[in-house]
A and B are shown apart, each in its own frame.
Chain A
Amino acid sequence: VKKRQLIAIIDDDRPFRIALLELVRQLGFDARAFASADDFVAVDDQAFDCVVTDIQMPGMSGFDLVRMLKSRDQPIPVILITALAEPQLETKAASLGVVCCLRKPFLPHDLIECLEKALGH
């Protein structure tokens, strides 16, 4: 039996974090949620298949996390989510090699597409 893929969800907005965790689990993945990138880094045992993270958070930002993950031997695909309105975010995200950059509120369908892309389905 193939092991279910594990997804990390990082967002400091608690209601959204819980909603996203439930959706991702409902979609058939294993998922764990973290309130900050620092929390994620503290427990990361490299078992995650994909990271879905907010950009603007207290402490380490989403971009900082992408840079850190990129420097690893086996990079984890990252999906960025943001409520910011800055226009250049997608370009910046693409230049960092991020799979997707979604703006809140996004359609669930877009997230599913991004997850499929990230996990190589």
Chain B
Amino acid sequence: MTALRLHKIGISAMAGTLYFLTSQVSQTYMVEPYGVAAFCWPAAGVSTGFLIALGPGARWPVLSGVIFANVLDNVLWHHVVVGQQLAYVAGNVAEPLIIAGLIDRALGRNFSTRRVNHILGMLAAMVAGVSVVSTFWTVIFKADLSLSAPAFALWENWFASDLIGNVAMAPLVIGIIDAIRKPPPQKELFEAIAAIAVTAAMTGVIIALPQPLWDTVMPGALLFPALLWLSCRCRPVFAAMGAGVIILGIGWMTAFGLGHLGDTNLPIDVRIKQAQAIMLFVAVGAAILAALFAELRQGAAKLGQSNAMLERELDNKLINIQAATASIAHEVRQPLAAIVTSAETGLRFLNIESPDIERTRVILKRIQEDSQRANEVFKSIRSVFSNLDQSRHPIDVNGIILEALSSLRDVLQVHRVAVHTDLAPDLPSVEGHKGQMQEVVLNLVHNAIEAIGTMGSQNGRVQIKTQIHSRDEIVVSVADTGPGIALERMTSIFEAFVTTKSQGMGLGLAICRLIVERHGGQLVATSDGKTGALFQFFLPVPPKN
């Protein structure tokens, strides 16, 4: 409880501090002709970013920080009446609430700056939230101050100022929070810092450009390469930082009368409009570009992964027909050897002076059984391989386990193995092939029974457990009280068709692993080599739509 409270206080302090610092930068943009607003308000994006990144749970910590920073900012800068201060605070609190609320409702808690449709959704939510709050302020200020400025001009300025702030800062804040949770590799960090430095330098060059060059040299041409580099090579947070640098530069140009946007021949409202247009285009462009490239990179990474998997499969002995044939042959040779040997014995019983018909009958019966056993080998192989390309359906893993256990009831009884199940009642279904999954469960439980069998003890135990491992993964665990697996055998047990089994089908763990991997999962074994083995397979849960 105390830790949670501390955590909330920390969030509040962080959000408040960042909001306050940003608002102090924004105060330098206080050059709009009516003197009631900064023409760009990045602080708005700080609160929105925090709310989107941390979710509704962090609502009050974030907003209390924002309120505190607002009050402090008002005390420091505005000497306006209390009513107006209240209106500002109310608007600054309502805006991120509306935006984050809309995003939460439309996109759920999976918002990502790496997805183009999420970025577009975020922009729409921002336009809506900012419109509402700008209208609110316009009404209040017009009524309260009786400003001479036309209502639409006031509204327009607030709208542009907060929209730029949101679009520029929210992705940055979301990205920073994400980067704290999952830090980027050092290489990406250095690369991004270098590219941001280039962006800053280029922004400086633009500020210094003499008037004629503004018409002849597209400033975009100078900024575009570095920004493109950031979007293309680094995660979205760095593109947002690059955009932030440009926006800061453009803002100061306008505010401090530098370069083209400081041209006093142009009326201030025209310069502000120009600056706002550039800022908005840069912020929106950077966010969309970053998301586009993030999607591309994700696709490329997935492709690389599946390519590596394909290569591994190719290398794997499993795909090596020779190895497969050898191990299938191994499985078939067992019953075949028994058949040949029994046949010889049978012949000898018949070849003696008074043929032993009764014993020969028993032997012939055994030959029949062994022939059946040889046939089973091929049947099992066919059942595994013939279905590999079939379509996927939602499957209930708990159900599969229960079915497998009921089909193994006799075997379990004969070996006197007790089974304990601990199946998660709310286990989500996975996409896959039921028959193959059944094969995996049957194989693992069978292995466990046999491992216990080698101990010769009468009270072995198999424990089967299903759990939700993470939001998008479930895990099935099969633990036994057998002798365990020696460390040196840990890797070879997954090699194609390796088996030390005497009974039944030894297609074994290689097939299990193949099936689990084809379902996008992973099969792992752990053992101390003494007190049993634990096999676990992880399966991805398809995203809900």
Q: Which residues of B contact A (CB under 8 A)?
A: 326, 329-330, 333-342, 344-345, 348-349, 363, 366, 369-370, 373, 454, 500, 502-503
Contacts and interface: CB of A to CB of B under 8 A. Distances in A.
Interface residues of A, number: 30
A18 interface: yes
A49 interface: no
A119 to B, nearest CB: 19
Contact of B338 (A12, A16, A57, A103): A16
Interface stretch (A19-27, A64-72, A91-99): A19-27
30 contacts: A13-B334, A13-B338, A14-B502, A15-B334, A15-B369, A15-B370, A16-B334, A16-B341, A18-B338, A18-B366, A19-B345, A22-B342, A22-B345, A22-B363, A23-B341, A23-B345, A35-B502, A36-B454, A83-B330, A83-B333, A84-B330, A85-B326, A85-B329, A104-B333, A104-B336, A105-B337, A105-B340, A108-B340, A108-B344, A111-B341
A26 B348 contact: yes
A26 B502 contact: no
A45 B370 CA distance: 33
Contacts of B326: 85
Most chain B beta-carbon contacts within 10 A, residue among A19, A22, A103: A19
A18 to B, nearest CB: 7
Most chain A beta-carbon contacts within 10 A, residue among B345, B348, B503: B345
B451 to A, nearest CB: 9
B345 A26 contact: yes
A54 to B, nearest CB: 9
Given A19-B337, A83-B330, A85-B326, 5 more contacts: A19-B338, A57-B500, A85-B329, A85-B330, A105-B340
A58 B503 CA distance: 12
A111 B344 CA distance: 11
A33 to B, nearest CB: 12
A99 to B, nearest CB: 18
B344 A23 contact: yes
Contacts of A57: 500, 502
A105 B349 contact: no
Contacts of A120: none
Nearest to B451: A58
A105 B339 contact: yes
Contact of A106 (B329, B337, B454): B337
A57 B363 CA distance: 25
B41 to A, nearest CB: 73
A111 B342 CA distance: 13
B221 to A, nearest CB: 68
Given A22-B342, A23-B344, A83-B330, A13 B454 contact: no
A35 B454 CA distance: 10
